[in-house]
Amino acid sequence: MRTDLRASGDDTAPSPVAPPRWRRPSAPNVLVAGVVAALVVHGFVGTGIDPSRLLQAPGRTFDFLSKSFPPALDRAPNLGLAMLETLEIALIGTILGIILSLPAALLAADNTAPHRAVAVLTRSALTTMRSIPDLVWALIFVVSVGLGPLAGILTITIDVLAFAGRFFAERIEEIEPGPVEALRSTGAGRLAVIFGAIVPTAFPSLTGTSMYSLEKSVRGAVVLGLVGAGGIGVELNVAFQLRQFDTALTIIVMILVVVLLVERLSTHVRTRLISG
């Protein structure tokens, strides 16, 4: 039997009442909105932002641009070496971070951790590392190992370890239990199961994440120099402080080129991983 569609709109049948258009917002929502509004107002009033500075901005920016052209190439060889150092900081830091992130992920994932407590502990350690911004890590390492690239390498290592460790752990937890069960059923030990079934299955995502980490690290390593952790950032900081804007522009262009190249490489590798 066919259903008569018109019946539902028929006046004789009582039509159901539509829900109210608005609902009264709950107390916590009102509270959050109030706090956000208060912070914004306080920010404008309390910190004394002067709108007239915005009016001066175009002139000052023009001043910067006119002084930065043409880019100064006299120190280009030195700057090139500093750029190379930044690249190496990013590369070494990323490799160390990835190497450490694999055991960290195995300890953090629920299905591979030797004990629940270990998983919780490892995950909290990774969260702590991630929650502290990398510039802060750099400041700490500059104190503990002194100015220079070592502080940068350690910072990048922590950064990659924290990011990739959590990412790998999530990937490991998603792995289908079937092949794992198959190896367990042969009487294989815990390590053999992890490295025979779990790690190979997670490997493509591991490689992809490593490339993404490298991309992120190169950008990160540039900034680390600003607090003295080695590389091109140191040069950039000095150029700005001495108002040598023409040198600064050279550095900015170099950074742009290197970051773009690494991004291209990373994208290329990751696309091949997905399609192959």
Partner 1 sequence: MISTTGLTKRYPDGTLALREVDLHVAEGEAVVLLGSNGSGKSTLLRCLTRLLEPTSGTVHLGGVDVTAADRATLRAVRRRVGVVFQHINLVDHISVLSNVVQGNLGHDGRARQWLAPTATAAVRDRAMACLERVRVADLATKRADQLSGGQRQRVALARLLIQRPDVVLADEPVAALDPRAGREVMDLLWEIVEQDGLTLVCTLHQLELARAYGRRLVGVRDGRQIIDGDLATLSDDELAALYALETTDDGPEVAPTRSVIPEEQVS
Q: Name the site residues for partner 1 (rule: CB under 8 A).
A: 110-113, 176-198, 200-201, 203-204
Contacts made by residues 260-265, CB under 8 angstroms, sequence distance 24+: 262/87, 262/214, 262/215, 262/218, 263/215, 265/211
Cβ atoms of 166 and 126 closer than 8 Å: yes
Which residue, among 213, 239, 233, 228, has the nearest Cα to 160 in the 3D structure? 213
Min separation Cβ 205 and partner 1, Å: 10
Min separation Cβ 200 and partner 1, Å: 5
Q: Which is nearer to partner 1, 52 or 185 (CB)?
A: 185
Min separation Cβ 31 and partner 1, Å: 39
Cβ atoms of 225 and 241 closer than 8 Å: no
Q: Which is nearer to partner 1, 153 or 180 (CB)?
A: 180
Residue 57 Cα distances to 70, 104, 184, 231, angstroms: 21, 48, 67, 30
Question: One-letter amino acid identity for 271?
Answer: T
Q: Which is nearer to partner 1, 188 or 226 (CB)?
A: 188
Q: Which is nearer to partner 1, 3 or 186 (CB)?
A: 186
Min separation Cβ 113 and partner 1, Å: 8
Beta strand spans in 83-170 (E):
none
Q: Which is nearer to partner 1, 135 or 183 (CB)?
A: 183
Min separation Cβ 5 and partner 1, Å: 34
Min separation Cβ 114 and partner 1, Å: 8
Rg for the chain (alpha carbons), in Å?
28
List the structure tokens of 105: 């992920």
Contacts made by residues 34-40, CB under 8 angstroms, sequence distance 24+: none
Mention every residue, 6+ apart, whose C-beta is less than 8 A from residue 164: 97, 98, 101, 105, 209, 210, 213
Q: Which is nearer to partner 1, 162 or 180 (CB)?
A: 180
Residue with tokens 């007239």: 52
Q: Which is nearer to partner 1, 119 or 129 (CB)?
A: 119
Min separation Cβ 145 and partner 1, Å: 34
Q: State the DSSP string of 19-68.
A: PPS--PPPHHHHHHHHHHHHHHHHHHHHTT--HHHHHHHHHHHHHHHHHH
